[in-house]
Amino acid sequence: MNRRQFITLTASTLPLAAAAVENSPTKPSQPQAADASALSTLDPKPLVVPLWPTPVEPKEPSAERERDVTKPTDQLIAGRPVIRLSHVSTPTLTIYRPTSVPATAAAVMVCPGGGYHVLAWDLEGTEICEWLNSLGITAGLLKYRVPRPRGQPNHSDALEDAQRGLRLLRARAGELDLDRNKIGALGFSAGAHLVATLSASGADRKYSTVDAADDEPGRPNFLVLIYPAALMARPPATGAAPEVAPDKQSPPTIIVITQDDADRGEEALAYAAVLKRAGVPVTLHFYPTGGHGYGLRRTKDLVTTWPERAAEWLRAGGWTR
């Protein structure tokens, strides 16, 4: 692979970021198993865990029911439509176990994006769980509440659901043959913002104790942020947004972003520098083209080979074999 096709930054190289960005044309390698269309199995009997023992009282009562709000005119991704769930009022964690390869001791909670309005349920959810399962990793797909409540932070309901979901996944580590210290979180766009907020919140639980699961540690052991959104305070370059500000206890993080992803590319560069200054191990894959919202569906853009880079990072970190 031509090294000029993209730039990979680790904590030791971040100061060179501004000078190192390349703009050369890209040509991806041949599709590998990370392409969603090449994956063939997903746990046919996943464990669906309600996050809350009693129905959540909505902050904005609505007669709308959970449904796919995708329209025929919505953009296709790699030639295929996307399921966009909205009006989610009953949050769940769906746990998918590997079926085609031996399971490792690692698990990842997956948070789809959608601007806190909808959830890109297949593109950034079930397809990602299938990919993780192909690596032997147990996946917990978080269905968090959307749309966001008006007059409150975008992530207020979603963060409660993410905090509860991670604790429930960790609480089931013995039952699922998992290592409680190998429980990560992966998110896309607003979902990446959510998992970064989850990490930054640490032990600061936003809801009252429900059961023994809430005694579990609330911070993921590693983070995977794919085309993350809203990481920096406004205006840009004034520091991390308060809700995602890391500390020295923040976990190792990998970030994937493109130069043409609006202002998110610059924000990802800045956030990686914030992580470095906090002493957090960070790996940044910064590509010239690809935009936003590709999931792991393979296109002509080299950024869509990110699952291969992420799998390498997971192995190198000891999170999987």
What backbone phi and psi angles, to 5 degrees, belong to 224? -120, 115
Query: CA-CA distance, 49 to 31, in Å (whole number)?
Result: 34
Q: Residue 31's pLDDT is what?
A: 36
Q: Residue 18's pLDDT is what?
A: 37
Query: 6 vs 27, 28, 41, 169, 206, CA distance in Å?
Result: 10, 11, 31, 35, 39
The model's pTM: 0.89
Query: CA-CA distance, 172 to 218, in Å (whole number)?
Result: 14
The domains found in the chain, sorted by start residue, are: 3-20+30-53+64-316 (3.40.50.1820)
**CA nearest to 24, candidates 51, 3, 53:** 3
Q: Residue 64's pLDDT is what?
A: 84
Q: Which residues of the chain have pLDDT under 70?
A: 1-40, 58-61, 236-237
Contact 190, 244 (CB under 8 A): no
Q: Residue 321's pLDDT is what?
A: 80
Contact 298, 79 (CB under 8 A): no
First to last CA, the chain: 24
Task: For residue range 166-200, list pLDDT tens digits in order.
Answer: 999 999 999 999 999 999 999 999 999 999 999 99
